Amino acid sequence: MTARLEVIVGPMFAGKTERLIGKLHRAQYARKRVRIIKPAQDTRIQGYIASRAVNPDGSTEITDQLSAVKVHDEESFWNIVGLDEFDVLAVDEAHFFPLDTPVTDCLGWFGRAVRALLRQRRDTNLHIIVAGLDMDFAEEPFGPIPGLLALADSVEKLTGVCMICGSDAGYISQRIVSDERQLVVGDAGEYQVRCRSCYQPPRKV
């Protein structure tokens, strides 16, 4: 019996949250105590994590959802997990957790906190499942996800369907609005899944 970390990555609309929710339903069937958190920076959906389907007109609709607690910073993270009343800790949209400014490592406060929690509960059956984007719109590593991939016991990398050519090889979230900031909260109106052939890097890259 040992604590373990699982990471699910891929572009937007690849089914990361759907896969995460499926794993959490399975844990609940097994009578595991589940706690779900998400970054407060993700302002699209309040109070829960949700899997969504993309309609032909580009709109999205929720297909499943589970209640989640927003995490603002390291202090609120430890306030939430410090009660130690869970077997499974799920984290969705983890790329929204910022790295240090200036950058000191590839984990940021969130990645370091996950590592510390794994160390604290290393002799338990704690299962941490983290889902998020591994790359930003410019093909750069995104937030603490690359560091968490290095720490993970298992990694699942999903792809989506390219919204240009339809190939089952979508690997990146193409930003289709003009904004050079790395962190721009958006949905189907701001991003498309693209394959490597259809992806167009930003001009500055």
Give every CB contact of residue 204 below 8 A, 6+ residues apart in sequence. Answer: 138, 180
Q: Of 93, 139, 140, 190, which is the active-site residue? A: 93
Active site residue 85: no
Contact (CB, 8 A) for 15 and 159: no
d(CA 139, CA 135): 5
Cis amide bond preceding 202, omega within 30: no
d(CA 155, CA 7): 5
User: CA-based Rg of the chain, rounded to a whole angstrom?
Assistant: 17
Catalytic residue set: 93
